[in-house]
């Protein structure tokens, strides 16, 4: 049923998009289109991209005009929306979800003058760039804080799907926690959904009643943070600062900021200097940031986090620095070595310290 409604929304948006060329006469205005996979809401993946869109508007004012279509399903609808943006004179199109990749690729070939940017994918082309963020950097820092704050030494992780990006997060969190507290174990519950508040809450509650006193999540709703607040344990948000859903529980959150990257991209396009890139940005590019730290975190822990942050920003520290040992005890990366991006992108194991078994595939 959701798809039908999405279709209606999309159809409505297309009607508007089709009418736009008549309305906008001024030639200096560069039109920029955004395709969002979910409603903007008040926190979450799409909310962060929309923050970046408003940053663009603030930066460039009248020189650009942004428009967006939210809740676009990762299917044929996406291609229609992307093509309509390109056909109606948009010069830059940001497609902000993994599942748009093949549609972006197809449309990009038909509109060589339009710059296409696709988030979290791996394909690119002559006018088709992709970008992603190193979420695991923030996760590692969350883990460091968690390792200091836990009393039970059990932590709970509410996770969506066992794909490399999620595994990087779980492993980075675990390694961060164990870097300061080697007795920690992390338990993972897969809810097999990016977004199901009821089930995410149940998973968090389950972990808490099994002794976890720090909860974190790789799902999109605020339900795990709220559950932690209710049961008086700590939690980390994801995507956005979720502290207002759990003022006491919320220690921090891994957030992603796309604004600076978007601003740079638009600058380059306006100057006619844009070249498609494959950017996987982290602290160094300002794409990852922690939400403000809870006052319950002791000053020396805050200082340690600040130190790690500056090392991440300077590029002198990588969370996946060897030794990386998986659950079976096998060494995946020798001591002192730094994991390269290709290996990171293929991660398919849990590190030592994760108590749950990775679901077999």
Cβ pair 157, 139 in contact under 8 A: no
Cβ pair 188, 349 in contact under 8 A: no
Under the binding rule (CB under 8 A), the answer on residue 75 touching other proteins is no
Under the binding rule (CB under 8 A), the answer on residue 329 touching other proteins is no
The enclosing H or E element of 305 equals helix 299-314
Under the binding rule (CB under 8 A), the answer on residue 39 touching other proteins is yes
The DSSP symbol for 256 reads E
143-172 binders of other proteins (CB under 8 A): 156, 162
Q: CA-CA distance, 278 to 269, in Å (whole number)? A: 16
Under the binding rule (CB under 8 A), the answer on residue 43 touching other proteins is yes
Cβ pair 121, 110 in contact under 8 A: no
Which residue's CB is nearer to other proteins, number 66 or number 221? 221
Which residue's CB is nearer to other proteins, number 54 or number 311? 54
Q: Are strands 234-239 and 214-218 parallel, antiparallel or unpaired?
A: parallel
Which residue's CB is nearer to other proteins, number 137 or number 326? 326
List the Cα angle 44/45/50 in 5-degree steps. 95
Which residues are 204's β-sheet partners? none
170-229 binders of other proteins (CB under 8 A): 185, 187-193, 195-199, 201-203, 205-207, 209-210, 212, 221-223, 226
Which residue's CB is nearer to other proteins, number 54 or number 192? 192
Which residue's CB is nearer to other proteins, number 79 or number 241? 241
Q: CA-CA distance, 49 to 55, in Å (whole number)? A: 10
Q: Are strands 115-119 and 128-133 parallel, antiparallel or unpaired?
A: parallel
User: Least separation, in Å, of the C-beta of 88 and other proteins?
Assistant: 25
Residues making contact with other proteins (CB under 8 A): 1-2, 4-5, 8, 39, 41-43, 156, 162, 185, 187-193, 195-199, 201-203, 205-207, 209-210, 212, 221-223, 226, 230, 244-245, 355-357, 359-361
């Amino acid at each position: 049923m959701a798809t039908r409604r999405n279709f209606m929304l999309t159809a409505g948006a297309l009607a508007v998009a089709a009418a736009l060329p008549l309305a906008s006469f001024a030639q200096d205005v560069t039109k920029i289109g955004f395709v969002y996979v979910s409603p903007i809401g008040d926190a979450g993946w799409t909310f962060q991209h929309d923050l970046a869109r408003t940053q663009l508007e603030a930066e460039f004012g009248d020189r650009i005009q942004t428009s967006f279509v939210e809740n676009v399903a990762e299917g044929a609808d996406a291609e229609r929306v992307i093509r309509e943006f390109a056909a109606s004179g948009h010069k830059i199109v940001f497609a902000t979800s993994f599942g748009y990749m093949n549609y972006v690729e197809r449309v990009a070939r038909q509109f060589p003058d339009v710059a296409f940017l696709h988030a979290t994918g791996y394909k690119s082309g002559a006018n088709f760039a992709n970008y992603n963020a190193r979420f695991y950097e923030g996760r590692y820092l969350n883990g460091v804080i968690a390792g200091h704050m836990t009393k039970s030494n059990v932590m709970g992780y509410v996770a969506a799907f066992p794909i490399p990006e999620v595994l990087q997060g779980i492993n980075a969190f675990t390694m961060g926690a164990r870097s300061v507290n080697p007795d920690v174990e992390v338990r993972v519950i897969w809810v097999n959904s990016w977004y199901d508040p009821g089930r995410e809450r149940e998973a968090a509650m389950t972990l808490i009643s099994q002794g976890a006193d720090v909860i974190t999540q790789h799902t999109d709703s605020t339900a795990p943070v709220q559950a932690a607040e209710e049961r008086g344990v700590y939690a980390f948000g994801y995507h956005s600062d979720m502290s207002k859903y759990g003022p006491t529980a919320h220690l921090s959150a891994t957030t992603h900021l796309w604004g600076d990257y978007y601003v740079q991209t638009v600058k380059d396009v306006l100057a006619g200097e844009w070249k498609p890139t494959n950017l996987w940005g982290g602290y160094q590019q300002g794409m990852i940031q922690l939400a403000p730290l809870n006052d319950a975190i002791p000053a020396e822990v805050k200082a340690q986090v600040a130190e790690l942050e500056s090392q991440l920003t300077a590029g002198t520290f990588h969370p996946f620095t060897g030794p990386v040992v998986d659950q079976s005890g096998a060494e995946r990366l020798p001591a002192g070595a730094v994991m390269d991006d290709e290996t990171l992108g293929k991660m398919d194991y849990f590190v030592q310290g994760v108590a749950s078994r990775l679901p077999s595939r």
